[in-house]
Structure 1
Amino acid sequence: MNWIDECFLISKSRYGENSLITEMYTKKRGKISGLIFGGTSKKIKNYLQIGNKLHVNYNSKNDNKIGYFKVEIIKAHSPLYFDHNQKLSCITSAINLIKILSAESQSNIKVYNLIEKLYIILTKDEWLKEYIFWELELLKLLGYDLELENIVEKNIEKNHTVYFVSSSNEKKYVPNFLIEKSLKVNDIKILLSGLKLVGDFLDKTILKPNNLSYPNSRVLFINSL
């Protein structure tokens, strides 16, 4: 099997002395694993950074065995943020979510386009707020829609509008900006509460039922804020 596509590098690990086992999220085929021979060489290792956009030529002699990639750089996204730890951690966390939650060889152009959108979000002033909605959109595309607008209740407390989700033994407040999406948010604590809400949903609804560990990359991202 031989094909050509464009993709984003979503994981890599050393294989042998100078090769890498990688996972790419491709435009036409979704997540694909493959070897890159010489992937640790000075010639190409600098652009084999997680999140970078690549042109790949894939070759496999047997559908039941891992194939190999020949790669060329299209856009080196990650190095743009080497001096911005928060945004670099955001890229790492976002790409790792796609690695964990997406299935092998299942194409989803909407997920691919969402990766493209991530880099547009990172150029904006309210990038963190928009990133939280990015995570929610990713979960929705993968079949896990939180549907906050349909489950929240609204109340007035101390002359302020509040939103919450209630159950038989718990009342969980929802940050207003997740419902009133045009709200400006300047308080990092409010944004962190939004990330926590999404993280709790991710953990309880997706990760634990599938015996998956909570991604350390997301913990590191939140700790960087």
Structure 2
Amino acid sequence: MNWSDEGFLLSKNRYNENSLIVEIFTKEKGKVSGIIFGGTSKKIKNYLQIGNKLHVNYNSKNENRIGYFKVEILNAYSPMYFDDRQKLSCLTSAMNLIKILTADAQSNEKVFFIIQNFFLILQDKNWLKKYIFWELELLKILGYDLELENLVEKDTENNETVYYVSSLNEKKYVPNFLIEKDKEVQDIKILLKGLKLVNDYLDKTILKPNNINFPNNRLLFLNTLR
């Protein structure tokens, strides 16, 4: 089985002294694992960074055996953020989210294009707010729509509009910017509350039911924001 495509590097692990096993989310084939022989060599290891966009040629003797990639760099996104701890950590966390939430060898062009859009978001001055909406859109594409607009109730407290979700045990407040999407947010604490809301939903609705541990690199990303 042979094919060519383009995709984003999601993960890499050493296979032996000279090679790597990688996962790449491709435009036509979805998430695919394969070996890159010589992946640790000076010639190509520098552009095998998480998030980089690659042209790939895939070769496999049969569908039941892992194949191998020959790769060429298309866009070196990661090095742009080597000096930006927050954005680099966000990139690593986002690619890991794609890795753990997508099935192998299932084509999904919407996921491919939302990854591409991720790198446009990192260039925006309001990147963190836009990233939170990026995550919500990703979850929606994968069938986990939070549907906040349909869940929240609206009230006025101390002459300010508040949104919340009620349950038998608690009243959980929702940051206003998640409902009023054009609302500007400067306070990092409010943005962190938005991320925490997504965290809770991700953990309770997706990760725990599927026996997936909460990603450590996501925790590291959150720590860079505090």
Q: Which runs of 5+ in 2 are unaligned?
A: none
Structure 2 residue identity aligned to 1:143:
G
Which residue of structure 1 aligns with residue 129 of structure 2? 129
Q: TM-score, normalised by structure 2?
A: 0.99
* Superposed counterparts of 1:57-206, under 5 Å: 57-206=57-206
Structure 1 residue identity aligned to 2:43:
K
Provide the aligned C-alpha RMSD in A: 0.4
Map Cα deviations across residues 118-170 of structure 1 (whole Å, 9 max, x no partner): 00000001000000000000101111000000000000000000000000111
Give the Cα–Cα distance (whole angstroms) in 2 for the partners of residues 124 and 155 of structure 1. Answer: 32
Give the Cα–Cα distance (whole angstroms) in 2 for the partners of residues 112 and 171 of structure 1. Answer: 37
Give the Cα–Cα distance (whole angstroms) in 2 for the partners of residues 55 and 128 of structure 1. Answer: 29
Map Cα deviations across residues 2-38 of structure 1 (whole Å, 9 max, x no partner): 0000000000000111100000000001000000000
Which residue of structure 1 aligns with residue 5 of structure 2? 5
Give the Cα–Cα distance (whole angstroms) in 2 for the partners of residues 206 and 109 of structure 1. Answer: 21
Q: Which runs of 5+ in 1 are unaligned?
A: none
Question: Which portions of structure 1, spanning 4 or more consecutive aligned residues, are displaced by more than 6 angstroms?
Answer: none
% identity of equivalent residues: 73
Q: TM-score, normalised by structure 1?
A: 1.00
Give the Cα–Cα distance (whole angstroms) in 2 for the partners of residues 16 and 188 of structure 1. Answer: 43
Deviation at 1:62, TM superposition (A): 1.2
Indicate the SS of the match to 2:163: strand
Which residue of structure 1 aligns with residue 27 of structure 2? 27
Map Cα deviations across residues 167-219 of structure 1 (whole Å, 9 max, x no partner): 01111000000000000000000000000000000000000000000001110
Give the Cα–Cα distance (whole angstroms) in 2 for the partners of residues 216 and 114 of structure 1. Answer: 23
Which residue of structure 2 aligns with residue 40 of structure 1? 40
